[in-house]
Amino acid sequence: MKKIGVLVSGGGSNLESIIEACKSGILKDIALVCVVISNRSDAYALQRAKKNNIPSVFVDKNSFMTYLEFSDAILRELLEYKVDLVCLSGFMQKVEANLINAFKNKIINIHPALLPKFGGKGMYGHFVHEAVIASKESKSGATVHFVDDQYDHGKTIAQIEVPVLVNDTSKTLAEKVLKVEHDLYPKAIKIILEDK
Ligand code: GRF
């Protein structure tokens, strides 16, 4: 069984879909979520971890002098739990070189658009969907990609499209995209863990 560590900052609906896939879906007997790490104590994702009896850790950025120390504290947790794959799931912090070097090609992220479009610094949450609507795109979607030292930049592992309809708002688009993310992320994880 491969061990997945999930980094979160918020709701964690993708975390939930990964947990479900490990319990009874396409990741059953392949992987398990062994730790959930959050930079926010109030992230609902932490409650999801608790409900599923998965160890969770709150790493408080404010208790470190530098960002690197904060990042090292996350690294220590991932190493302690002997994580094979790190999945970012709405993790709103920069991933530093210490993590990228320690987990080469083993850190992945999900982004709510068809990268390389609508990615990069500042492109997160509602900003992404607002930009897609403003550009009058006919389609959007989600992308799972490797994490490198630039925002939303590493190689794409899997993508899924959703149509953008004329009456879509950033809110309706966000809902549609999040829904397909829940299918896509476990599939992408399977591809990685099976080395395909
Ligand atoms: C998702 O839209 C994901 O693409 C982005 O952050 C959001 C996280 O949602 N990176 P959740 O916390 O998994 O519900």
Domain residue ranges of the chain, discontinuous segments joined by +: 2-116+144-161+182-193
Closest residue by Cα to atom 1, ligand 1, is 90
Paired tokens of 49: 């971890």
The partner residues of 110 in beta bridges, in order of sequence, read: 144
Helix axis angle for 170-193 and 13-24, nearest 10°, is 40
Counting atoms of ligand 1 from 1, which one is nearest the CA of 17?
13
Closest residue by Cα to atom 10, ligand 1, is 90
Closest residue by Cα to atom 6, ligand 1, is 90
27 CA to centre of ligand 1 in angstroms:
20
Q: Average pLDDT, whole number, for the chain? A: 97
Q: Is the pLDDT reported for residue 195 higher than 90? A: no
Give 50-108 as a DSSP string: HHTT--EEE--GGGSSSHHHHHHHHHHHHHHTT-SEEEEES--SPPPHHHHHHTTT-EE
Q: Is 141 in the pocket of ligand 1 (CB under 6 A)?
A: no
CA dihedral 70→58→94→135, nearest 10 degrees, is -160
Q: Is 90 in the pocket of ligand 1 (CB under 6 A)?
A: yes
pLDDT tens digits for range 8-23: 999 999 999 999 999 9
Beta-carbon contacts of 141 under 8 Å, excluding residues fewer than 6 positions away, are 113, 114, 159, 160, 161, 162, 177, 180
7 CA to centre of ligand 1 in angstroms:
11
pLDDT tens digits for range 86-114: 999 999 999 999 999 999 999 999 999 99
Supply the residues annotated as catalytic. Answer: 111
Closest residue by Cα to atom 2, ligand 1, is 112
Counting atoms of ligand 1 from 1, which one is nearest the CA of 181?
4
CATH code of the domain made up of 2-116+144-161+182-193: 3.40.50.170
Paired tokens of 152: 């939303």
Q: Is 55 in the pocket of ligand 1 (CB under 6 A)?
A: no
Distance CA 36, CA 25 (A): 19
Counting atoms of ligand 1 from 1, which one is nearest the CA of 177?
2
Q: Is 39 in the pocket of ligand 1 (CB under 6 A)?
A: no
pLDDT tens digits for range 44-103: 999 999 999 999 999 999 999 999 999 999 999 999 999 999 999 999 999 999 999 999
